[in-house]
C-alpha cells in the first residue's frame, strides 16, 4: 500500500489561528513535503491525555515511538470518552484533549467560561471509511434503481432538514422536486438516519444544514441494538438495511456500510460542483466533502503557549513517521500533506 495519497496541489490558506504559510504559498506540495521527525531536546516528564477511547491503538503507537526518541518521557492516558476532553483541559488534568468527533458548542462554552479563550484545535488524522467508532465518513444512500446519481449540500439541507438555511426555496419532500419525472415525480422521499444527538447527525447538521437543528419531520432514526447473542447491530448498518426495503428512501450513514439494493451517490458542497463520489480514495485525499477528522485540543492561547513536551509530541504526530503510524492502524487515515502542513504552521513550526 502506498504511504500517502499521490497528489500535487497549490497551497493558499489562512489557518484558524491567523497564521499563513508565506514560505510555502504557491509551492507544490507532495507527500515528501511532510518533514521527517528530527527530535528536539526536552526535559523529562509526563504528557497527560484524556478523551476518545477508540484512538487508543494509534495513541499507543505514537507514544511508544516518541519514547524511543525521548526515554525520559512517560504518558498518562485516560481515553474514556470524547466528552471528557475539554473538562480535563480546563481543570488542568490533561495536556491533550482527544476528540473523535466534532466538538459541541456547549463544550466550547464551558471551556471558554473557565479559560477565557477557546480550546485550541489540531486535526491529527482523517476518520475511517467503515468503522462507526472511528470518525467514519458519511455517505448518502438511495435505492439501487433510483435514478438520482448526485446531490448538493443545498438539496440535502432541504431533504434532511426543515429550515433550509442554504437557500432552497422550500423543503424537499418528493423525488419530483429533485427533477425526477414519470413514476418518480410524485413519490415521497422517506428519510433515514441515526439518533439526532449522535456525532454523525451533529456533524451533518453543522456541515450541511449550516447549524440548523430542525430536521425532517418524518425522519426514521435508528440507534445501536443489542442482540440476544450479545452482539451489537450498529445503527449505521440498521439504517442502510432499512433503506434496502424502501425504494423511496434516502439514508445518511457511514460510507462503508453496505446493503444489497442500495448505492452511494456523489455529493457536492457547492451547487456548481464538483460532485465527488465517496470512495476510500476520496475520503483519504479529503476531496469528498463529508469526510471527518480526529482532533486534539490544547490549552494553547496567545498568553498561554504550549509547554515544550506537548509541542514536541505534536511535532512527532505531524511528522512523516507519526502519520505513517496512522496508516498502520488500518482504519484511521493519515492527514493529507497540505492539511498536515497546516497543523505544523498552527504549532509554530
Q: Considering only CA atoms, which of 257, 250, 261 is closest in space to residue 216?
A: 250
Give the pLDDT confidence score for residue 183 in this predicted structure. 95
Instruction: Provide φ and ψ at 141, rounded to 5°.
Output: -110, 145
* pLDDT exceeds cutoff 80 at 68: yes
**Band of residue 349 on the pLDDT scale cut at 50, 70, 90:** low
Give the pLDDT confidence score for residue 11 in this predicted structure. 30
Q: How many CB atoms lie within 10 A of CB 104?
A: 17
* pLDDT exceeds cutoff 70 at 300: yes
CATH of domain 9-127+292-347: 3.40.190.10
Which tens digit of pLDDT belongs to each residue from 126-170? 999 999 999 999 999 999 999 999 999 999 999 999 999 999 999
* Average pLDDT of the residues of the chain: 91
* pLDDT exceeds cutoff 60 at 16: no
Which tens digit of pLDDT belongs to each residue from 82-94? 999 999 999 999 9
**Band of residue 24 on the pLDDT scale cut at 50, 70, 90:** very low
Element spanning 309, H or E:
helix 308-317
* pLDDT exceeds cutoff 70 at 9: no
- pLDDT above 70 coverage of the chain, percent: 91
Q: What is the mean pLDDT of residues 21-44?
A: 71
* pLDDT exceeds cutoff 80 at 20: no
Spatial separation of the C-alpha atoms in residues 236 and 10, rounded to whole Å: 36
The pairing of beta strand 190-194 with beta strand 249-254: parallel
Q: What is the mean pLDDT of residues 326-334?
A: 95
Q: What is the mean pLDDT of residues 284-307?
A: 96
pTM for this prediction: 0.87
CATH of domain 138-284: 3.40.190.10
- Rounded to whole angstroms, the maximal C-alpha distance in the chain is 72
Which sequence spans correspond to the domains of the chain? 9-127+292-347, 138-284
The pairing of beta strand 96-99 with beta strand 293-298: antiparallel
Give the pLDDT confidence score for residue 33 in this predicted structure. 80
Task: Answer whether 190's CB lies under 8 Å from 220's CB.
Answer: yes
Q: What is the mean pLDDT of residues 163-189?
A: 97
Give the pLDDT confidence score for residue 348 in this predicted structure. 85
3-state secondary structure 262-277: EEECEEECCCCCCCEC
Q: Fold match between 9-127+292-347 and 138-284?
A: yes
3-state secondary structure 191-226: EEEECCCCHHHHHHHHHCCCCCCCECCCCEEECCEE
Which tens digit of pLDDT belongs to each residue from 206-255? 999 999 999 999 999 999 999 999 999 999 999 999 999 999 999 999 99
Going by the DSSP 8-state scheme, the letter that residue 102 receives in this structure is P
> Which residues, 6+ apart, have CB-to-CB distance to 211 below 8 Å?
165, 205
Q: Considering only CA atoms, which of 255, 149, 236 is closest in space to residue 195?
A: 236
Amino acid at each position: 500500500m502506498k504511504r500517502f495519497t499521490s497528489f500535487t496541489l497549490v497551497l493558499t490558506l489562512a489557518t484558524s489561528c491567523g497564521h499563513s504559510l508565506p514560505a510555502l504559498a504557491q509551492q507544490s506540495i507532495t507527500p515528501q513535503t511532510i518533514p521527517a521527525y528530527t527530535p528536539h531536546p526536552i526535559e523529562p516528564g509526563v504528557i497527560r491525555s484524556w478523551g476518545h477511547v477508540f484512538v487508543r491503538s494509534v495513541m499507543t503507537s505514537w507514544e511508544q515511538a516518541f519514547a524511543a526518541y525521548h526515554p525520559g518521557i512517560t504518558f498518562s492516558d485516560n481515553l474514556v470518552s470524547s466528552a471528557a476532553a475539554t473538562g480535563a483541559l480546563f481543570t488542568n488534568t490533561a495536556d491533550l484533549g482527544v476528540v473523535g468527533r466534532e466538538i459541541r458548542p456547549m463544550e466550547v462554552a464551558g471551556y471558554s467560561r473557565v479559560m477565557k479563550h477557546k480550546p485550541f484545535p489540531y486535526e491529527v488524522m482523517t476518520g475511517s471509511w467503515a468503522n462507526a467508532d472511528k470518525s467514519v465518513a458519511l455517505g448518502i444512500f438511495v435505492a439501487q434503481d433510483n435514478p438520482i446519481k448526485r446531490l448538493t449540500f443545498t438539496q440535502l439541507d432541504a431533504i434532511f432538514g426543515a429550515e433550509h438555511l442554504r437557500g432552497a426555496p422550500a423543503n424537499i419532500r418528493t423525488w419530483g422536486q429533485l427533477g425526477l419525472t414519470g413514476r418518480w415525480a410524485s413519490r415521497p422521499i422517506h428519510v433515514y438516519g441515526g439518533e439526532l444527538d449522535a456525532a454523525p447527525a451533529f456533524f451533518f447538521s453543522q456541515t450541511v444544514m449550516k447549524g440548523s437543528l430542525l430536521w425532517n419531520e418524518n425522519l426514521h432514526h435508528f440507534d445501536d441494538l443489542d442482540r440476544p447473542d450479545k452482539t451489537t447491530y450498529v445503527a449505521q448498518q440498521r439504517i442502510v438495511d432499512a433503506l434496502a426495503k424502501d425504494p423511496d428512501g434516502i439514508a445518511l450513514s457511514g460510507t462503508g456500510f453496505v446493503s444489497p439494493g442500495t448505492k452511494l451517490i456523489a455529493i457536492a458542497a457547492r451547487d456548481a460542483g464538483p460532485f465527488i463520489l465517496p470512495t476510500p480514495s476520496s475520503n483519504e485525499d479529503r476531496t469528498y466533502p463529508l469526510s471527518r477528522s480526529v482532533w486534539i485540543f490544547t490549552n494553547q492561547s496567545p498568553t498561554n503557549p504550549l509547554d515544550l513536551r506537548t509541542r514536541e509530541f505534536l511535532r512527532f504526530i505531524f511528522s512523516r513517521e507519526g502519520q505513517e503510524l496512522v496508516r498502520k492502524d488500518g482504519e484511521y487515515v493519515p492527514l493529507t500533506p497540505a492539511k498536515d502542513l497546516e497543523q505544523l504552521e498552527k504549532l509554530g513550526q
